[in-house]
Amino acid sequence: MIVCALLILIVLVQNSKGGGLASNFQSSNQFMGVRKTTDFLEKSTWTLAVALMVFSVIGSLTIPRAEESERSVIEDQIESVVDPNAIPQFPSTDPQ
Task: Tell me, rounded to whole angstroms, the distance of Cα 14 from its chain centroid.
Answer: 20
> pLDDT tens string for the chain (96 positions)?
999 999 999 888 877 665 555 555 545 444 445 567 778 888 899 999 999 999 999 998 998 876 655 667 887 777 777 676 777 677 777 666
Asked, for residue 58, whether it belongs to a domain, the answer is: no
The pTM score is 0.50
The 10 Å CB-count burial string (b at 16+, else e) for 61-89 is eeeeeeeeeeeeeeeeeeeeeeeeeeeee
| Domain membership flag for residue 89 | no
- Other CB atoms within 10 A of residue 48 CB: 20
Q: Is residue 38 part of a domain?
A: yes
Alpha-carbon gap, residue 45 to 10, rounded angstroms = 6
Provide the pLDDT for residue 16: 64
Task: Identify the domain containing residue 1 by its residue range.
Answer: 1-16+34-51
